Amino acid sequence: MPQSAIQDSLSPANLRMLQAVAAHGSFAAAARALNLVPSALSYRIRQMEEALDVLLFDRQGRQARPTAAACELLHQSRLLLSEVDRIAHRVQRVATGWEPQFTIVIEDLLNMGTVFELCEAFYALGAPTRLKVRSEVMTGTLETLTSGQADLALGVLIDSGWTDRLIEHRPLGHIDFIYAVAPHHPLAAVETPLTPQDMQPYRAVAVADTVHRSNSRTVGLITGQDVLTVPDMGAKIEAQVRGLGVGYVPVTRVQAHLQSGRLLQKTLAQPGLDTHFDSHYAWHRGKQQQGRALQWWLEQLQSPVTRQALLQGRALEAGLPARQVAE
């Protein structure tokens, strides 16, 4: 089979048909979803099989089960279609200056309310860019950016000496942590500063690092201590309020609990090194790759008021000027 015929058989339209059959489990159901007659869909899949010289589906009655070859092709087709979308986005960005979609990854510690205020100001521009906001924890925030899944990362933890020639980053500020326990927790009754020996018998609450491709980070735990792992800082604070465990929490997120007495701040005999979190914002390096959406967000982050609001949870005091798009 000529190479051109094989390439023609792997067109985006054919690959989407392949995905539809695998997803629906039959040619008839996939044809209905694609608004095709079943015979036309079967013919296109058979053409792919002949071009590749492989069997893609085991046809048993009305069911269509993907073979091992089809499973591999399905995996590769997702990557290929994703790359086609990225090419289209890049072409559109060159033509208009605005990214079709702009993805922001937010460290779980930051104030999402401030992020939404910034989104509101961005929408007032009238730009054609669609925003996508996702949340990650610790190392997962930087990984999302470096893996190409985000255009801008807020609240990134940058280790001393870390460099990446493709990533630019700037300081966002730091978040202070305190060691907090519920008033009915046994450690609340300890009047002296807490030692590691005091804390080790009691369960700690930890937020799971969302990193996938490298080692996860562990912060503020004592060797041998039992751990309750939760998905985000909100869940960690709730668990500590209930007395399920103890640990460090960002002071800006627990002020109300401290004032109401639902949490108590404890003094440590040996203050840990992790009592504050140095935070950064980061993006992909290269002026030629910067669309107008990225430029706008970077301009907002140059403001100390904006950076402080992201870290401390206070609303932006000054309204962000919304420049209309003159296009």
Confirm whether 321 is domain-assigned: no
Same domain, 139 and 151: yes
In a domain, 325, yes or no: no
Residues 156 and 143: beta-carbon distance below 8 Å: no
Asked if residue 323 belongs to a domain, the reply is no
Same domain, residue pair 252 and 292 = no
Q: Is 300 exposed, middle or buried, given 0-12, 13-18 or 19+ CB atoms closer than 10 A?
A: middle
Quick: pLDDT tens for 25-63: 999 999 999 999 989 999 999 999 999 999 999 988 788
> Is residue 272 predicted with pLDDT exceeding 70?
no
Let me know whether 217 and 270 are in one domain: yes
In a domain, residue 168? The reply is yes
Residue 1: predicted pLDDT: 60
Residues 6 or more apart from 131 whose CB is under 8 A from it? Answer: 101, 102, 103, 104, 119, 122, 123
- Whether residues 164 and 144 share a domain: the answer is yes
Whether 113 has a pLDDT exceeding 70, the answer reads yes
Residue 200, in any domain of the structure: yes
User: Does pLDDT of 213 surpass 60?
Assistant: no
Residue at 140 is within a domain = yes
The pLDDT confidence band at residue 282, using thresholds 50, 70 and 90, is very high
Identify whether residues 118 and 181 lie together within a single domain. Answer: no
Domain boundary among 94, 115, 134: 94
We report the CATH number of the domain holding residue 136 as 3.40.190.10
Let me know: does 62 contact 106? Beta carbons within 8 Å: no
CA dihedral (154, 253, 230, 159) in degrees, to 10, reads 40
Q: In the chain, what percentage of residues exceed pLDDT 90? A: 61
Q: How many residues would you count in the chain? A: 327
Last residue of a domain, one of 68, 94, 120: 94
CATH number at residue 191: 3.40.190.290
Please give the pLDDT value at position 217: 61
- Show Cβ contacts of residue 21 under 8 Å, excluding neighbours closer than 6 positions: 27, 30, 41, 45, 57, 64, 66
How does pLDDT run across 292-310, given as a tens digit for each residue? 999 999 999 999 999 999 9
Residue 78 belongs to a domain with what CATH number?
1.10.10.10
Q: Could you tell me if 215 and 285 lie in one domain?
A: no
Cα–Cα distance, 107 to 165 (Å, whole number): 22
Residue 211's pLDDT band (cuts 50, 70, 90): low
Query: 169 and 286 in one domain?
Result: yes
Domain boundary among 70, 94, 118: 94
State residue 322's pLDDT score.
Answer: 46
What is the DSSP secondary structure assignment for residue 194, as one 8-state letter? B
Tell me: do 163 and 289 sit in the same domain: yes
Residue-wise DSSP of 49-89: HHHHTS--EEEETTEEEE-HHHHHHHHHHHHHHHHHHHHHH
pLDDT of 125 above 80: yes
Domain membership of residue 189 (yes or no) is yes
Element (H, E) at 178: strand 167-181
Higher pLDDT, 158 or 107: 107
Q: What is the average pLDDT score of the chain?
A: 87
| Whether 161 and 292 share a structural domain | yes
pLDDT in tens, 144-199: 998 889 999 999 988 777 777 889 999 999 889 999 999 999 999 999 999 999 99
Q: What is the pLDDT of residue 84?
A: 86
Please indicate, yes or no, whether residues 303 and 239 belong to a single structural domain of this protein: no
CA angle (276, 179, 280) in 5-degree steps: 20
Residues 153 and 163 in one domain: yes
**Predicted model pTM:** 0.66
pLDDT at 327: 42
**pLDDT tens-digit map of 214-269:** 555 667 788 899 999 999 999 999 999 999 999 999 998 999 999 999 999 999 99
Same domain (yes/no): 142, 152: yes
The parent domain of residue 128 ranges over: 97-173+278-312
> What is the rounded distance in angstroms from the CA atom of residue 263 to the CA atom of residue 180?
6
Total domains in the chain come to 3
Residue at 320 is within a domain: no
- Report the distance separating Cα 155 and Cα 128, nearest Å: 26
